Chain A
Amino acid sequence: MKRSVRSALACLALLPVVAACGGGSGDSGGSGGASAKTGPITIWYSNNEQEVAWGKAAVDAWNTAHADQKVTGQEIPAGKSSEEVIGAAITAGNAPCLVLNTAPAAVAQFQKQGGLVPLDDFSDGVSYATARSGDLVDQYKSADGKLYQLPWKSNPVLIFYNKTIFAKAGLDPEKPALSTYDDFLATSRTLKSKGGVQAAIWPAPSSEFFQPWFDFYPLYAAATGGKQLVEDGKSTFNSPEGKGVAQFWKTMYDEGLSPREKYNGDSFAEGKAAMAIAGPWAIAAYKDKVKWGAVTVPTPTTMPADQVHTFSDAKNIAIYTACKNRQTAWEFAKFATSQEQDGKLLEMTGQMPLRKDLTTTYADYFKANPDYTSFASQAARTVEVPNLVDSTTAWQDFRDAWSQSVIFGKTPIDKAFSDVAAKIDDIAKQS
């Protein structure tokens, strides 16, 4: 039986969730062989409105100059998450040549599936990435030392706050006291009692594996000065800093400052919560709805804002083994990350290209758009998710322990963290 048929049947065997598996057969997998070919290619970009506009413009600009290497741009097919859609497409053999918005957390898994082409296959692959992004590239290298993703853009997360609600609660909307855990808690209590809001801040209390990236991880990165969840094959979070972050959020839940129930909508945009934790992508969404300000995430003790780290929420560009014309894919990747296209991405989406010289290269933009300056300066101090094959399992285990101990208080934090650290250590050993 052909492997592709078997893979498709494997998808079928796993119930309706694999509707995205799709059919069709792409080019044979495996890296190498097709790297030097040029010709028409298909790419996927995200379905975010601003990014679609940028993606279409970039594809048009490319096609005007490369009639023999036509690029067809498509929005990533709808699914619960891009990672699931891409994973299914790899299995079915119908992945596009290139996907903008490949999540770093999924890269090791895609690599294990035989779905990714290392940039090392191209003569200038790694050197180009390093020249554009600097040492940051090292965070994205895989366990085999190769680079399977071109660092593209980040969305460093900050605390957004609603100036109107702060003023209503009698707090200073220009200099909010949110820098330490104690400050943040005191401000939250005031907001809840006097600000007329349901929540001071409303992170999703649901069980999805990626939720820690928007409550635990930014504060952990800040508390530790930039540590990843796993470093040198061992988990790092079962520490005073990690447990401090957990205790902070536990207090928020215990005191009802953050609800244990999921809000179906945007609690910040709708004025139900006085604060939110989000990246610069949210600026466009909040622009006409909320008079907002943004500050760095809180830390255990006072720390200058220009030293505070956060989670990167980066998305990168990867080339997939189903691609026949990989040289064109690589050339388009370089075109899409050129200084000109990065500038357009910044202007059209507000997201930060992962360039080492971001603020100086686009000084005029940041002068004209001061709202984005704090995100740009924060982009230099971001922490990425660790590059584990079973990254999703590790984050799901962490989330389950977090739910039990921090959100619902069923297990003491010490025990929950100690147990889940042992599990994640096992996962890290296998990566």
Chain B
Amino acid sequence: MSQLLPTEPPAAEAPVGASPAAGRTHRYVPWRSSAENQPIGTLFALPYLAFVAVVFAFPLGFAVWISLHDYFFAAPGASVDRPWVGLDNYKTALQDPAVRSAFGHVLVFLVINVPLTVVLSLVLAASLNAAIPFRTAFRTSFYLPYVTASIAIVGVWLFLFSEDGIVNKVLGPLAPDPSWLTNSHLAMPSIALFVTWKQLGFFILLYLAALQNVPKDLYEAAAVDGASKLRMFRSITIPSVRPATTLVVVLSTITGGNLFTEPYLLTGGGGPNGSSTSPVLLMYQRGIEQSKPDVAAAIGVLLVLLVMLIAGVQRLVLERK
């Protein structure tokens, strides 16, 4: 009960006969209690809150405002009319087959990328957490793609997966036709694999941090009971790192929602035939190339809502007892 407000006096008008606990009318207010208990912490948090308000909350609110108006970028001082149009921009966005496809592509991406990210990063983190030779070198090698700019490593993937690339040369007659990045069925899965590989180092790091907190005596007790390594992994490791799993799932979902660079670079701006277009890529096309920031903002708001919905469902599923 330390989070309640012990310094507050009990309610003066508690009904006669009511228990002392029932007489408390103050509700738990997290921000208030932490502000009072941790004033220095609050002080440290304030600049970040201001930063979030200025570079995230306000632009997000402004994007919503743009999406509800007939808006276009204009020179300062230019006399332009930007009337309220209600949900027209949302209607335009939702009636656009390219937008609908782009959201579908993100779902394909998430279905491949999120489970693969969770499984690979957890398994690799567990392996890298064990006493293996060259552990640091392995950790670094997994982390390296994450800290390297996409633009730098996309070239390597193009070299591997192009029509006459190394992968197709190795596969020979088994190589897909059309090739990976020009095949409308394989382009988005190829991108999902690329992103999984690129981001893996970061998620391994999250799991490694979580694994450090798993009590060693749990494993020792299980070993005494004769549990196999697989059983220990299933019954101790996976449940113990559940909060990290939630974080990995939510973060990789958000990464999927933000997908832009990879389809832009790997498949020449959403090809083949638009089958790897992402909503953010469409926002770029509509908002910047085609000067329709109002429709782009509507797509952005829809994307935020979709990602929030998916992340919410994921949390509900993963955090249920």
> A87-B291, A115-B75 given as contacts; is B66 within 8 A of A404 (CB)?
no
Is the Cβ of A393 less than 8 Å from the Cβ of B158? no
269-321 of chain B: CB within 8 A of chain A: 269-274, 277, 280, 283-285, 287-293, 296-297, 300
Segment of B54-62, B129-137, B218-226, B237-245 in the binding face:
B54-62
Most buried by B among A4, A83, A208: A208
Q: Please report the C-alpha to C-alpha distance between residue A259 and residue B271 in the assembled complex, in whole angstroms.
A: 14
Q: Mark A1-29, 1 if CB is under 8 A from B, else 0.
A: 01110110111111111100000011011
Question: Is B76 part of the contact surface with A, judged by Cβ < 8 Å?
Answer: yes
Does A264 reach chain B (CB closer than 8 Å)? yes
Question: CB within 8 A of B59: which of A13, A17, A198, A259?
Answer: A13
A10, B62: Cβ atoms closer than 8 Å = yes
Q: Which residue of A is nearest B162, CB measured?
A: A261
B288 / chain A contacts, CB cutoff of 8 Å: 14, 17-18, 84, 87-88
Q: A403 on the interface (CB 8 Å rule)?
A: yes
- Nearest B-chain residue to A28, judged by Cβ: B77
Which of B79, B277, B290, B292 is close to A30, meaning CB atoms less than 8 Å apart?
B79
A390 at interface by CB-CB < 8 Å? yes
For residue A404, which residues in chain B have a CB less than 8 angstroms away from its CB? Answer: 273-274
- Interface size, chain A (Cβ < 8 Å): 59
Are A14 and B75 within 8 A (Cβ)?
Answer: no
Task: Flag B63-100 by CB within 8 Å of A: 1 or 0 each.
Answer: 10010000111111111100000000000000000100
- Residue B41 CB within 8 A of the other chain: no
A18 to B59, CA, bound (A): 13
**Are the C-beta atoms of B269 and A207 separated by less than 8 Å?**
yes
A408 lies within 8 A of B76 (CB): no
**A residues near B71, Cβ cutoff 8 Å:** 10
Q: Which of A14, A18, A91, A392 gathers most chain B CB within 10 Å?
A: A14
A365 at the B interface (CB under 8 A): no
In the complex, residue of chain B having the shortest beta-carbon distance to the beta carbon of A404: B273
Chain A residues contacting B182 (CB-CB under 8 Å) are: 205, 260-261
Write out the residue numbers on chain A whose beta carbons fall within 8 Å of the beta carbon of B291. Answer: 87, 109, 112-113, 390, 392
Find out whether the CB atom of A114 lies under 8 angstroms from the CB atom of B80. Answer: yes
Which residues in B have their C-beta under 8 angstroms from that of A6? 62
A90 within 8 A of B: yes
Q: Is A321 an interface residue (CB 8 A)?
A: yes
Bound complex: CA of A25 vs CA of B75, how far in Å? 10
A322 CA / B269 CA spacing, docked (Å)? 32
B106 to chain A, nearest CB (A): 15
Q: Is B284's CB under 8 angstroms from A17's CB?
A: yes
Complex CA–CA separation, A17 to B60 (angstroms): 15
Residue of A nearest to B158 (CB): A264
A158 contacts chain B at the CB level, 8 A cutoff: no
B36 within 8 A of A: no
- Which residues on the B side are within 8 Å of A286 (C-beta)? none
| Chain B residues within 8 Å of chain A by Cβ, number | 51
Q: Which residue of A lies closest to B297 (CB)?
A: A13
**Interface membership of A400, Cβ < 8 A:** yes
Determine if B268 is an interface residue (Cβ-Cβ < 8 Å).
Answer: yes
Chain B residues with CB below 8 A from A16, complex form: 260
Judge whether A190 is part of the interface by a CB distance below 8 angstroms: no
Contacts of B176 in A (CB 8 A): none
CA distance A205 to B181 in the complex (A): 12
Complex-state Cα separation, A81 to B288, whole angstroms: 11
Question: Which residues from chain A contact B150 at a C-beta distance below 8 Å?
Answer: none
Beyond A205-B271, A396-B285, whether A29 also contacts B290 by CB under 8 A is: no
A403 to B80, CA, bound (A): 36
* Contact present for B58 and A9 (CB under 8 Å): yes
Set of chain A residues within 8 Å of B79, measured between Cβ atoms: 30, 114
Q: Do A7 and B273 form a contact, CB below 8 Å, given A14-B288, A18-B288, A30-B79?
A: no
Known: A207-B270, A396-B285. A9 touches B164 (CB 8 A): no
Across-interface contacts of B293 in A (CB, < 8 A): 10, 13-14
Q: Nearest B residue to A402 by beta-carbon distance?
A: B273
* Cβ contact within 8 Å between A207 and B287: no
Beta-carbon nearest neighbor of A389 in chain B: B291
Does chain A have a CB within 8 A of B178? yes
CB of B246 within 8 A of chain A?
no
Q: Does A206 contact B (CB under 8 A)?
A: yes
Is there a chain A Cβ closer than 8 Å to B179's Cβ?
Answer: yes
Q: Could you tell me the distance in whole angstroms from the C-beta of B149 to the nearest C-beta in chain A? A: 13
Q: Is the CB of B272 within 8 A of A396?
A: no
Chain A, 386-402, CB within 8 A of any chain B CB: 390, 392-393, 396, 400
B18-77 residues at the A interface, CB under 8 angstroms: 55, 58-60, 62-63, 66, 71-77
List residues of chain B with CB within 8 A of the CB of A83: 289
Which of A2, A6, A205, A207 has the largest number of chain B CB atoms within 10 A? A207
Least Cβ–Cβ distance between A5 and chain B, in angstroms: 9
A112–B73 CA distance with the chains assembled, in angstroms: 9
- Residue from B162, B268, B290 within 8 A of A207 (CB atoms): B268
A-B pairs with beta carbons under 8 Å apart, 25 shown: A7-B73, A9-B62, A10-B71, A14-B63, A14-B287, A15-B260, A15-B280, A17-B260, A26-B76, A29-B78, A87-B291, A88-B288, A90-B73, A90-B75, A91-B75, A207-B268, A207-B269, A207-B271, A207-B277, A208-B268, A259-B163, A393-B292, A403-B272, A403-B274, A408-B272
Q: A29-B77, A114-B77, A400-B98 are in contact. List 6 more A-B contacts (CB 8 A).
A: A12-B55, A93-B75, A114-B79, A205-B272, A393-B292, A400-B274
Which 6 residue pairs of A and B lie closest in terms of their CB atoms, listed nearest first? A114-B78, A206-B268, A29-B75, A28-B77, A29-B77, A4-B76
